[in-house]
Amino acid sequence: MAFQRFTAPDPAAHEASIAEHRARLAAADGALARMDATADLAALLTTARAEAEAVALLEPEREHAEALSHEEAAGWFWNAYATALQYCGRRDDAEPVFAKALAVSEAGGWRRLQSFVLQHWGRSLVEQGRLDEAQARFEQALAIRRDLNDPRTGSTENALAGLAEVRTLLHGGCHCGAVRLTLPYLPEKATRCNCSLCRRIAGVWAYYPFGSVKVEGHPEHTTDYVWGDKTLRNVRCVHCGSVTHWEPLTDEGGGKHGVNLNNFDPQVIDGARVRRFDGADSWTYLD
């Protein structure tokens, strides 16, 4: 899940800006100018969904950014680098980089930069399911932007509203409500399987580490079905018959929950990439 990722409103103008910044980087003279130009170009590339290229541009400049940490441009550099790492799926790597960007902005008293770092970091935290931490970052960013009368205040207010919606979407349950599920974070992808069981259930499955999904009303309101290699139990509500999830019969570490997303608001499935899996024959994805 990419939480409120920014999209350039005019793609053609954005591409023209990227071309201009490539030329600026090529002409940059000196470590500070090169670092600054690299960060600006990388931020534009990340917006254009070319975050892998952005990371490749930024990484050779990290030594200069360390040496120039007293410059505001270094803070923008680390923010651009953290954001590119985030959208490359390297959120764990992005964490200390966001922290570095925030430390640089705080040390220099660059509050506008600080608000940007907090906002971007908050988005990454939402995507990891760390919602309380994300809310704290957004609230800090909002306080700064209101104090500065920053025109991006509305963006941070939207982030807090979106976070509240995410909290709602994490909660689902069977049709009668006897079994309730809470996801640790919204799924980025899901599976629609055609095996002999899944095609009858018509489930859309998202996978989470076993124990990370909160399941209430189970087992007191559920029954299960075990088949095949007898390593999993498929769970449904005994009252309304809704298939809610599957789980390992024994927890030996490293197990997974399979959660049927049809028990959640349709927006949860809409926000995920749903892949077709050939569980009936080849045991491979069909797309």
pLDDT at 36 over 90: yes
Determine the average pLDDT of the residues in 32-56.
Answer: 97
Ordered DSSP codes for 163-226:
HHHHHHHTEEE-SSSSSEEE-SS--SEEEEE-STTHHHHT--EEEEETTSSEEESTTTTEEEE-
Q: How many CB atoms lie within 10 A of CB 198?
A: 22
Average the pLDDT over 8-26 and give the result.
Answer: 97
**In this predicted structure, what is the pLDDT of residue 2?**
84
**Per-residue pLDDT tens for 232-261?**
999 999 999 999 999 999 877 788 999 999
What domains does the chain contain, in order, with CATH numbers? 11-167 (1.25.40.10), 172-277 (2.170.150.70)
